[in-house]
């Protein structure tokens, strides 16, 4: 592989939904390795750790999903669910059922016309699962993931605690990925969230920038334009959080964005990262320093969470729902 210039790295990172740094970090190096594989280049199968990863795996998952074979999230990782979906496909087309995507299986995949386009079955499945859990928060498991960088760790942990208290009062089960002083790795946070069978992961962060004028709030959900897939529930929740915070505060709206970060990609539950302002900006830093402002931000999250689980006809306009409304509607325990 030829050496890439910083501009080429930045362009690649932008296209792949990675942090745009212009530096060849570990996440970028993994993505470059994954990008070199196209479906048909190699046989795909379940193997011990490390599992097979690549754009060819993502293309296989996307094609299987479009035809109605459930392989979980299109994440480019050949795991047990992908193997099971390959076996189901092999049974349906009459090729050897071994869970390995070799030449015969690839030829069958390429010959078949797409029955459903755009990954609709997985989107419908994710949306149906959310609706089936009902509007009450009492049966929800929500994981809060406060960032640990020195410039953000204290106030995002404080916001997480404020959200936790309100969620507990509403009957939800709440887990924090870290305490006041520890700093688990990204993989440990992902594993913790998956082991607790979370319904939702909320990752809380702040940003800093060399330009002190940079300011505002932004939200992120799992999505990959390369393969035309995204988390339906994650995207909706990111939008709800973004709108509620901006309606209730004077944060600049920096919008919601699809990304392929591991915290969003590898978490089984819908996952959203929220960047609450820039500590390098005087205005944002002053906002975040005020306890009453952090209270308003916490309430914005609670209302966004509740709106995520409300049926469309029961939903309310952005910035109008209050926690007291949840009690009056019989939703609060």
Name which of 108-112, 127-131, 206-210, 260-264 the model is least confident about. Answer: 127-131
Is the CA virtual torsion 116, 118, 124, 125 positive or negative?
positive
Question: Please, what is the average pLDDT of the chain?
Answer: 87
Statement to judge: residues 296 and 265 lie in one domain? yes
Statement to judge: residues 88 and 136 lie in one domain? no
Distance of CA 232 to the CA centre of its chain: 10
CA 229-74-8 angle, to 5 degrees, is: 70
What CATH number is attached to the domain comprising 41? 1.10.101.10
| Confidence check: pLDDT of 114 > 60 | no
CA–CA distance, 253 with 217 (Å, rounded to integer)? 6
Residue 105 inside a domain? The answer is yes
Statement to judge: residues 147 and 82 lie in one domain? no
Statement to judge: residues 200 and 286 lie in one domain? yes
For residue 109, name the pLDDT band (cuts at 50, 70, 90): confident
Residue 333 inside a domain? The answer is no
Contacts 24+ apart (CB under 8 A), 17-21: 17/223, 17/224, 17/225, 17/258, 17/259, 17/260, 17/261, 18/259, 18/260, 18/261, 19/261
| Total tally of structural domains belonging to the chain | 2
CA 173-176-180 angle, to 5 degrees, is: 140
Statement to judge: residues 136 and 272 lie in one domain? yes
Listing DSSP states for 138-168 in one string gives TT-EEEEEE---TTTHHHHHHHHHHHHHHHH
What CATH number is attached to the domain comprising 212? 3.40.630.40
Q: Label residue 53 left, alpha or beta by phi (over 0 means left) and psi (-120 to 50 means alpha).
A: beta
Buried b or exposed e, range 183-206, using 16+ CB within 10 angstroms:
eeeeeebbebbeebebbbbbbbbb
* pTM, two decimal places: 0.79
Q: Is the peptide bond before 180 cis (omega within 30 degrees of 0)?
A: no
What is the average pLDDT across 229-255?
Answer: 94
CA–CA distance, 81 with 87 (Å, rounded to integer)? 10
Percent of the chain with pLDDT over 70: 85
Name which of 206-210, 227-231, 255-259, 261-265 the model is least confident about. Answer: 227-231
C-beta atoms surrounding 114 within 10 Å: 9
Q: Which domain holds residue 56?
A: 6-118
Q: Give residue-wise pLDDT tens across range 27-82.
A: 999 999 999 999 889 999 999 888 999 999 999 998 888 888 888 888 899 999 99
For residue 14, name the pLDDT band (cuts at 50, 70, 90): confident
Q: Give residue-wise pLDDT tens across range 149-207.
A: 999 999 999 999 999 999 999 889 999 999 998 999 999 999 999 999 999 999 999 99
Is the CA virtual torsion 154, 155, 156, 162 positive or negative?
positive
- The encoded tokens of residue 331 equal 């939703």
What is the average pLDDT across 6-20?
Answer: 90
């Amino acid at each position: 592989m030829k050496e890439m210039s910083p501009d080429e790295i930045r362009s690649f990172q932008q296209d792949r939904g990675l942090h745009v740094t212009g530096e060849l970090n570990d996440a970028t190096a993994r993505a470059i390795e994954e990008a070199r594989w196209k479906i048909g280049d190699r046989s795909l199968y379940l193997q011990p750790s490390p599992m097979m990863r690549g754009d060819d795996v993502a293309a296989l998952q996307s094609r299987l999903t479009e035809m109605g074979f459930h392989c979980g999230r299109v994440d480019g990782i050949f795991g047990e669910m992908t193997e099971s979906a390959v076996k189901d496909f092999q049974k349906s087309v009459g090729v050897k059922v071994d869970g390995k995507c070799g030449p015969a299986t690839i030829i069958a995949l390429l010959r078949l016309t797409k029955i459903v386009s755009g990954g609709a079955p997985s989107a419908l499945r994710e949306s149906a699962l959310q609706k089936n859990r009902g509007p009450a928060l009492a049966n929800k498991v929500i994981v809060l993931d406060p960032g640990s960088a020195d410039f953000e760790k204290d106030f995002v942990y404080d916001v997480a605690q404020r959200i936790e208290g309100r969620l507990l009062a509403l009957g939800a089960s709440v887990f924090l990925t870290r305490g006041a002083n520890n700093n688990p790795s990204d993989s440990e946070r992902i594993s913790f969230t998956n082991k607790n069978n979370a319904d939702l992961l909320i990752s809380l962060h702040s940003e800093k920038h060399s330009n002190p004028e940079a300011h505002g709030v932004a939200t992120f959900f799992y999505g990959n334009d390369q393969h035309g897939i995204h988390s339906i529930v994650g995207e909706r929740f990111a939008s709800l959080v973004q709108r509620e915070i901006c309606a209730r505060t004077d944060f600049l709206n920096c919008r919601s964005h699809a990304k392929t970060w591991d915290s969003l990609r590898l978490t089984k539950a819908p996952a959203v990262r929220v960047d609450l302002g820039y500590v390098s900006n005087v205005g944002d830093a002053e906002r975040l320093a005020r306890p009453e402002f952090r209270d308003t931000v916490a309430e914005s999250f609670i209302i966004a969470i509740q709106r995520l689980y409300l049926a469309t006809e029961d939903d309310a306009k952005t910035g109008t729902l209050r926690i007291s409304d949840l009690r009056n509607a019989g939703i609060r325990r």
